[in-house]
């Protein structure tokens, strides 16, 4: 499993300041500190897809969750 430092290392500084990273079991959770807007949200999703594989919103995985993004380790991929 990748560490938070490894995941944070792929994001530019301007996006890092907008995000909170947490470890939960086999997940690295990325939460926005504030509203990201469509452009920054798309940048985050694009970086995750390019660096770690497929992407999935937390809402798609569990509709009970708020709007947060999950990075989930599954075989050799991380999901957002």
For residue 74 the two structure tokens come to: 């599954």
Which pLDDT value is given to residue 14? 96
Contact, 40 vs 15, CB < 8 A? yes
- Domain boundaries in the chain? 4-79
pLDDT in tens, 32-67: 888 888 899 889 888 988 887 765 555 455 544 443
Q: Look at the pTM and tell me if it is higher than 0.85.
A: no
Question: What is the Cα–Cα distance from 50 to 66, expressed in whole angstroms?
Answer: 24
Q: Which residues pair with 4 in a beta bridge?
A: none
């Amino acid at each position: 499993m990748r560490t938070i430092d490894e995941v944070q290392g792929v994001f530019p500084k301007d996006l890092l300041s907008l995000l909170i990273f947490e470890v939960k079991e086999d997940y690295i959770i990325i939460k926005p500190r504030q509203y990201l807007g469509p452009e920054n949200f798309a940048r985050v999703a694009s970086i995750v897809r390019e660096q770690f594989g497929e992407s999935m919103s937390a809402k798609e995985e569990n509709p009970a969750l708020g709007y947060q993004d999950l990075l989930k380790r599954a075989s050799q991929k991380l999901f957002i």
